[in-house]
Amino acid sequence: MIRLEPRLAPSRIWSFLAPLAAVGATLVGGSIIFSLLGKNPIDVLLTIFWSPLFDPNMSAYARPQLLVKATPLILIAAGLAVGFKAGIWNIGAEGQYIMGAIAGGAVALAFYPAEAWFIFPLMVAAGALGGVAWAMIPAALKIRFNTNEILVSLMLVYIAAQFLAAVSLGALRNPEGSGFPGSRNLQYYDSASNPELLAGTGVHWGGMAAVAALACLYLLMRRHIMGFHLRLAGESPRAARFSGARPALLVAFCLGVSGGLAGLAGLFELAGPSGQISIDFNVGYGFTAIIVAFLGRLNPIGILLAGLLVALTYIGGEMAQFMLGLPRSAIQAFQGMLLFFLLAMDLFLHYRIVFRTGAKA
Amino acid sequence: MNFLRKIQLAASIAAAAALSLAAPAQADPLKVGFIYVGPVSDFGWTYEHDQGRLAIESALGDAVETTYVESVPEGADAERVLTQLALAGNELIFATSFGFMDPVINVAQKFPNVKFEHATGYKRADNVSVYSARFYEGRAVIGTIAGHMTKTNIIGYVASYPIPEVVRGINSAYIHAKKVNPDVEFKVVWVYTWFDPAKEADAATALIDQGADIIMQHTDSPAAMSIAEEKGLFAFGQASDMKQFGPNARLSSIIDDWGPYYVERAKAVLDGTWESEDAWHGINEGMVGIGEFSDKIPADVQAEAQAIADAISAGEYHPFTGPINRQDGSPWLAEGETADDGTLLGMNFYVEGLEGEVPN
């Protein structure tokens, strides 16, 4: 008989091993799927993990694209990590990402076609505020009525998506777009665009913000009393209260930070790689960032690496599609397995397996 | 970012610059890339584009080599995939969704020697062609059938996005249903997606609950067809024939047949005669196909529908022929006047008699 027994304290070894073991198990599970599809699993794995980095034709372009793809993931995950540490679960970063982009984009379009240095900073501020404002809804409801922030923040994603569709067709639609949905393309509007800071590097202002966010995450968690309260709240809410933490403040802070960073991610993506507010502007970074945060153990370095790894599976996955003819759903299953195995491995952090023979009392 | 990484990046910039300048060598075979907005298994829009890709392969054999990337989100991801397809040596790239427009234009600037074909867009360049089908011609045919076949006089319409393409289809179907059945009424549900079987099914169900006994759709999956089959009502195949999803429900279908155009364009690249074009083909050129009529349609209705298709194909009849008023009652086309392509391409208004508003 096999039983799971709670550990007194999380296993230290497993807390390091779990992400690595999950990646390993994903590679094995993925290989099985790829073989069943009649592909050589080694070829597929090499295409996903090796080609974007080292293929002579593709890597020069793909490497910077890794940073482009990882930037919003890392930026959002850094914010989510703050709340997740404290047991405050913002699942609606996707919605905050959308609202940040809309707020920032609206500022840009309001000034169009004026050129001025202050437009972009204003957009950044509006983007962050848009995300914060959207995150304050679940925060306020939780503080005032003790609603579940997981549900509220998640539901608000769908409202944000509807709002996105509405402004793409209405208020922010490109008046010169022949009646098609979607705003003007900010890539063609100098004062509002967020181009690569150094051409060909894939680093735009969002990348800078992501690095800054990770640094702040480290300082907050390790060097600031707020970080202490957050960690304590996650581990022992009662103890946190005795140490002087104010639960309402923690809720507002966690949702505000994660919402703000998600909003920033949306704004930088809008003004940079994406360019346009359109009905399909959001592509799931807010949800994928949850995987990134957990895969990175809510730790700044971990999030950086996890963001790059997940970005690699996206870009390598596309290459596997057009170089090997692998269907996209196989890639998605492969990515999904990563979270699945990570959660499975996390079990061993908190529980140990006990083998028992015979009857028990 | 450490110093080593900076060096690596600098090296990769230089390499990228060199690559984008180098002309893709005219090596055999011609590589043709496709980027799809949905999965090839959608049995609708993307499925038919993929059939077009396969048509190139079977027509040109060893002279071509095709690849595709499916379910690519419109926006930044599309731009990356397009660039990668170009870097991988594809010399002709088909981008089969409207939302790929700006990414196509951006990437085309960086790869002047690669030819791009963008479906349903309006931005062109020396190496970017646009192409689309006159689906409204097919809508005229199925609108006629629906007008005759409805018993409740309510026709449900599952619409994707309120873009001219979709609005045009609603207008054309309505005008022709109304022509044969003055009591007919259209109910339109906007689902704001091209491909989401669950949403499409919900919309179809909602329309049936409101009394619709015939469902038309302008979305990519066969979900609405399945619902009509389940409820014992009628529907039309959209983009693809969809007969297998509604053996009893399917009355006819509008089939997108991209094969002939795709083969022609790939040949043009092989011959060196490819030029940037604006193609808008209809029943006549074979890009819009009318699926076989169900035997549930009475013979005289079949004959009438066929006559309309033939007249459109022969250029004797235009689906938008006056007198037609706008929804607000203001005149649009005078007696005998036909709509010009410019107005049709930007159509964002309903014709007189349709209820509701084009979402704005």
- Where do the H-state alpha helices sit in A277-327? 285-295, 300-324
pLDDT mean over B191-206: 92
* Same-domain check for residues B196 and B250: yes
pLDDT at A267: 97
- Is the CB of residue A100 less than 8 Å away from at least one CB of chain B? no
* Same-domain check for residues B128 and B145: no
Is B1 a residue whose pLDDT tops 50? no
Per-residue pLDDT of B298-308, as tens digits, reads: 999 999 999 99
HEC states along A108-161? Answer: HHHHCCCCCCCHHHHHHHHHHHHHHHHHHHHHHHHHHHCCCHHHHHHHHHHHHH
* Secondary structure (3-state) at B357: coil
* Interstrand relation of B331-333 and B324-325 (parallel, antiparallel or unpaired): antiparallel
* Same-domain check for residues B76 and B157: no
* Same-domain check for residues B194 and B296: yes
Nearest CA-CA distance, residue B161 and chain A, Å: 8
Is B19 a residue whose pLDDT tops 50? no
Residue B204 domain flag: yes
Nearest CA-CA distance, residue B75 and chain A, Å: 5
Quote the CA–CA distance of A139 and A134 in Å, as a whole number. Answer: 9
Chain A partners within 8 Å of B102 (Cβ)? 185, 187, 275-276
* Same-domain check for residues B70 and B176: no
For chain A, the first-to-last Cα distance in angstroms comes to 14
Chain B partners within 8 Å of A200 (Cβ)? 9, 12-13, 16-17
pLDDT at B271: 94
* Same-domain check for residues B275 and B314: no
Is B194 a residue whose pLDDT tops 90? no
Which stretches of chain A score pLDDT less than 50?
361
Q: Which of A318, A331, A335 to mutate to test the interface with B (most CBs of B within 10 A)?
A: A318
Residue B177 domain flag: yes
Per-residue pLDDT of B231-242, as tens digits, reads: 999 999 999 999
Quote the CA–CA distance of B295 and B107 in Å, as a whole number. Answer: 49
Supply the range of the domain harboring residue B265. 20-134+258-281
* Same-domain check for residues B118 and B240: no
Residue B353 domain flag: no
Residue B113 domain flag: yes
* Same-domain check for residues B249 and B230: yes
pLDDT at A169: 84
pLDDT at A58: 87
Domains: count for chain B: 2
* Same-domain check for residues B337 and B214: yes
Per-residue pLDDT of B236-269, as tens digits, reads: 999 999 999 999 999 999 999 999 999 999 999 9
pLDDT at B71: 92
Q: Which helix (H) or strand (E) holds B349?
A: none
Using pLDDT thresholds of 50, 70 and 90, give the confidence band for residue B10.
low
pLDDT at A34: 94
pLDDT mean over B256-284: 95
Per-residue pLDDT of A316-330, as tens digits, reads: 999 999 989 899 999
* Same-domain check for residues B150 and B298: yes
pLDDT mean over B201-224: 96
* Same-domain check for residues B161 and B180: yes
Tokens of B109: 């600037």
Q: Is A170 exposed, middle or buried (0-12, 13-18, 19+ CB in 10 A)?
A: exposed
Tokens of A63: 């490497």
Residue B351 domain flag: no
Is B23 a residue whose pLDDT tops 50? no
Residue B359 domain flag: no
Residue B95 domain flag: yes
CATH number of the domain at B32, please.
3.40.50.2300
Residue B15 domain flag: no
Q: Do B12 and A63 touch (CB under 8 A)?
A: yes
Is B357 a residue whose pLDDT tops 80? yes
Per-residue pLDDT of B95-136, as tens digits, reads: 999 889 999 999 999 999 999 999 988 899 999 999 999 999
Residues belonging to chain A: 361
pLDDT at B27: 54
pLDDT at A179: 67
* Same-domain check for residues B246 and B185: yes
Q: Which residue(s) pair with A72 in the sheet?
A: none
pLDDT at A4: 84
